[in-house]
Amino acid sequence: MNASKINIRRFTAGDETSVKSLIKEIMAHEFNDDQGAYPTEDIEEVERSYGGLGEAFFVAEDNSQIVGTVAIKKEDDRVALLRRLFVAADYRKRKIGLELVDHALEFCHEVGYEEIIFRTTSRMQAAIKLCQKCGFIPRAKLKLGPIELLKFALSIRDGRKTAKSRS
């Protein structure tokens, strides 16, 4: 890993294999017990899953290698879902997750969403800390066997706020 600049951009069809590999590898190695709560059907066809009006999938790229992802899925005209926030283990602690969330928040602001919802499990501590740093607040908890599902929300009605401006 070198000190090159990470590029955050929209997903393209050529990214599909790398995106699937990154997400499935992280889920299998770090969150194997959580996979039942978060099936990966949506990443089998990213363009179809996140290509609708008001939806987007972003990747973090280093020298043509996909090292991070984040997606926005439309819940309704007012609410978006923040999904698929992943950063490769070797690239963590470099604020890539923060930049990915910032791109997602900017997109949501441009689309006109008023609120963003992020759902995760209690085991995904890095994602929880990042989202809380970005202003997401806890909304709900649900015990699902050995897993605790968590729901966070961020209101973006009150003007343009990026993840970077909150940190």
Residues 6 or more apart from 142 whose CB is under 8 A from it?
Answer: 148, 149, 151
Give yes or no for residue 90 having a pLDDT over 50. yes
DSSP state of 8: E
CA neighbours closer than 13 Å in the CB half-sphere of residue 36: 6
User: pLDDT at position 39, please?
Assistant: 73
- How far apart, in whole angstroms, are the C-alpha atoms of residue 64 and residue 76? 34
% of the chain with per-residue pLDDT over 90: 70
pTM: 0.88
User: pLDDT at position 166, please?
Assistant: 47
User: pLDDT at position 157, please?
Assistant: 75
Domain 7-166, CATH 3.40.630.30 — does that match? yes
Give yes or no for residue 100 having a pLDDT over 80. yes
| 3-state SS assignment for residue 63 | coil
User: pLDDT at position 51, please?
Assistant: 95
